[in-house]
Amino acid sequence: MRYALPSRLNSYAVTHPHFADPETFLIKVLLVIPTLDRSGAEKQFALLATHLPRDEFEVHTVALTRGGPYEAVLRERGIPLTVLNKRWRLDPRALWDLRQLIFQLQPDILHTWLFAANAYGRQAAGRNGAPAVIVSERCVDSWKSGWQLTLDRRQRARTTRLIGNSQGVADFYQEQGFAGDRIVVIPNGTSIPERIPFDRDAVLAEFDIPPGSQVVGSVGRLARQKRGHDLIWAMQLLRQLRDRVYYLIVGDGPEKVELIKLAEHMGCDHLVRFAGHREDAEQLMATMNVLWLGSDFEGMSNSVMEAMAAGLPVIATDIPPNRELVVDGETGYLVRVGDSVGFAQFSDRILADQELAQRLGAAGRERIRKQFSIVRMVDAHADLYRRVVAEQAESTTGDSA
């Protein structure tokens, strides 16, 4: 069902020509993100673009700098995509092109994701309030430098709503001066994978892991915030507690070389496997007995959600966004940031008790099914878009009265 604009707001429809019938019109949404690389924010971006109901929303997408793997997902579902090929941190041509695209499409909602797109989008949209500008922040961005936080604050007036994917993100941006009534929390969404039988030993053999071994694993970018060195230390400790346990690291990034050196220095490199970036990360996750996440800051971890959806116990750092996913002692365990001993001890407990592992995994799977589904995520965005369009319409009619 399309969103019906109240009849008293017909003057808004007159100023927006794509509303041919003011009682039943499509809400135009322009989604903008820096790239379509295979990462967490990009995945949620593609899920939203392809799952918004077509009979109510007309969706266009923009990649500010380049496309990537999710480009094919958008094109296969018939979602229009424009790649602006931004070349520099400050690229006047890309800003001009985005401004022209906004002028041509006349979207009701400009929804930008991540710092670069948020900055360019708010600048390109201007100050006249049309389109409404929604920005998505996907992490507790303690990494941002002073000039980036200053730019965020200066662009608050151009921000209709700020979406955080966890309460921790929302709290961080409220501390930066964003008004609480302008911040909305919409958690990430994921699907519950079908359990398909597969030859686990054959998959592990690719990484020279012996049949029947137990595996702890990590999935994600090898960046400093993930504190991979804590997890290498945890593996060194875990090997003292258990035989035939291996650590499978899925992902790539700037910390990889240092982590390889650390594993060698610790003398546990023969038990650590670096899989690199993999298109079959979900299948590799199915070979694991426990998932580790050692981050000191996050937004809402897609890898933790996917592990829980797959029925995999999770051990993660006790930071606010992880607390919103992992229920300590019920779906996994939470440990202090940097607590390598905690990772090792809780892993040993899970690996030693199959009944406990199954209970934690089943509880995690059910939690994701009930609270973090794709449908729930998309519905929350759709509802926000409806509310914002109604507000814009009220504002337009108020101005013209």
Print the SS3 string covering 47-83. HHHHHCCCCCEEEEEEECCCCCHHHHHHHHCCCCEEE
Q: Are residues 144 and 220 in the same domain?
A: no
For residue 165, tell me if it sits in a domain.
yes
Question: In which band, very low, low, confident or very high, does the pLDDT at 282 lie, cut at 50, 70 and 90?
Answer: confident
Range of the domain at 78: 7-189+374-400
Asked if omega into 131 is within 30° of 0 (cis), the reply is: yes
Q: Are residues 17 and 131 in the same domain?
A: yes
Q: What 8-state DSSP symbol labels residue 181?
A: G
**9-18, 44-53, 88-97, 303-312: which range is least confident on average?**
9-18
pLDDT tens for each residue of 217-245: 999 999 999 999 999 999 999 999 999 99
For residue 73, tell me if it sits in a domain.
yes
- Secondary structure string (H, E, C) spanning 278-315: CCCHHHHHCCCCEEEECCCCCECCHHHHHHHHCCCCEE
Task: Please count the structural domains in the chain.
Answer: 2
Query: Does residue 246 surpass a pLDDT of 50?
Result: yes
Phi/psi of residue 300, each to 5°? -145, 115
Query: Does residue 91 surpass a pLDDT of 80?
Result: yes
Q: What is the mean pLDDT of residues 380-390?
A: 96
Q: Going by C-beta distance under 8 Å and a sequence separation of 6 or more, which residues neighbour residue 329?
A: none
> Residue 215's domain is classified under what CATH number?
3.40.50.2000
pLDDT of residue 1: 33
Q: Are residues 175 and 268 in the same domain?
A: no
Q: Going by C-beta distance under 8 Å and a sequence separation of 6 or more, which residues neighbour residue 376?
A: 187, 189
Q: Are residues 74 and 89 in the same domain?
A: yes
For residue 159, tell me if it sits in a domain.
yes
Question: In which band, very low, low, confident or very high, does the pLDDT at 14 lie, cut at 50, 70 and 90?
Answer: very low
pLDDT tens for each residue of 41-60: 999 999 999 999 999 999 99
Amino acid at 341: V
Question: In which band, very low, low, confident or very high, does the pLDDT at 145 lie, cut at 50, 70 and 90?
Answer: confident
Q: Are residues 58 and 124 in the same domain?
A: yes
For residue 109, tell me if it sits in a domain.
yes
Q: Are residues 163 and 250 in the same domain?
A: no
In percent, the amount of the chain with pLDDT more than 70 equals: 91
Question: Whole-angstrom distance between the N-terminal and C-terminal Cα of the chain?
Answer: 30
Q: List the one residue out of 314, 376, 286 whose CA is nearest residue 44.
A: 376
Q: What is the mean pLDDT of residues 289-316?
A: 94
Greater confidence (380 vs 7) lies with 380
Q: List the one residue out of 218, 216, 227 whose CA is nearest residue 251.
A: 218
pLDDT of residue 177: 86
Paired tokens of 346: 């809780």
For residue 194, tell me if it sits in a domain.
no
Paired tokens of 334: 């939470």
Q: Are residues 301 and 343 in the same domain?
A: yes
Paired tokens of 379: 């519905």
With beta carbons less than 8 A apart as the criterion, state whether 217 and 250 touch.
Answer: yes
Length in residues, the chain:
401
Q: Are residues 352 and 383 in the same domain?
A: no
Greater confidence (152 vs 105) lies with 105
Q: Are residues 209 and 136 in the same domain?
A: no
For residue 69, tell me if it sits in a domain.
yes
- The pTM of this model reads 0.84
Task: Work out the number of other CB atoms within 10 angstroms of the CB of residue 254.
Answer: 10
pLDDT of residue 19: 46
With beta carbons less than 8 A apart as the criterion, state whether 233 and 340 touch.
Answer: yes
Q: Are residues 172 and 219 in the same domain?
A: no
pLDDT tens for each residue of 167-199: 989 998 998 888 888 999 999 999 988 877 889
Q: Are residues 364 and 232 in the same domain?
A: yes
pLDDT of residue 268: 95
Using alpha carbons only, give the angle 171, 177, 179 rounded to the nearest 5 degrees: 75
With beta carbons less than 8 A apart as the criterion, state whether 112 and 135 touch.
Answer: yes
Tell me the helices (H) and strands (E) count for the chain, helix number first. 16, 13
For residue 63, tell me if it sits in a domain.
yes
Q: Are residues 164 and 207 in the same domain?
A: no
pLDDT of residue 5: 44
pLDDT tens for each residue of 322-342: 999 999 999 999 999 999 999
**49-58, 260-269, 347-356, 390-399: which range is least confident on average?**
390-399
For residue 49, tell me if it sits in a domain.
yes
Three-state secondary structure call for residue 107: coil
